[in-house]
Amino acid sequence: MLQPSVHFPSNMAGNLVARLKVLADLLTYRIDFPQEGRIRRPETDIEMRVSTFPTVYGEKAVVRLFGGASRASRLSASGASRYRRLGAIGRGRGNGHAVGT
């Protein structure tokens, strides 16, 4: 299950987005169009893909984490029962996340 782990104050949002753009080799001075980039660590098989996009309230960023084959697991290992997983998928509202390879 996805759980919040860190909460940043809202006044840090611009600085965090700018830092992510630097790490992902994106254009920091362009905030008027969406951008895509990635951050890779050579010593691990973890890759982060960064997407930035303009909104009415400022620029937002999404970070997706991808692990190698050694980190792959099954949805049944998530701790949720089969009934709960199927119930979440069948509802017409909310979010459903399938994470992995």
The CATH number assigned to the domain holding 33 equals: 3.30.450.90
Rounded average pLDDT over 47-72: 82
In a domain, 56, yes or no: yes
Q: What is the mean pLDDT of the chain?
A: 75
Does residue 4 sit within a domain? no
Instruction: Evaluate whether residue 49 is within a structural domain.
Output: yes
Q: 18 is in which domain, residue-wise?
A: 10-71
Instruction: Count how many domains the chain has.
Output: 1
Higher pLDDT, 6 or 32: 32
Asked if the structure places residue 90 within a domain, the reply is: no
96 assigned to some structural domain: no
Q: With respect to residue 27, please indicate whether it lies within any of the assigned structural domains.
A: yes
Q: Quick check: 20 and 61 in contact, CB under 8 A?
A: yes
- What's the pLDDT at 51? 94
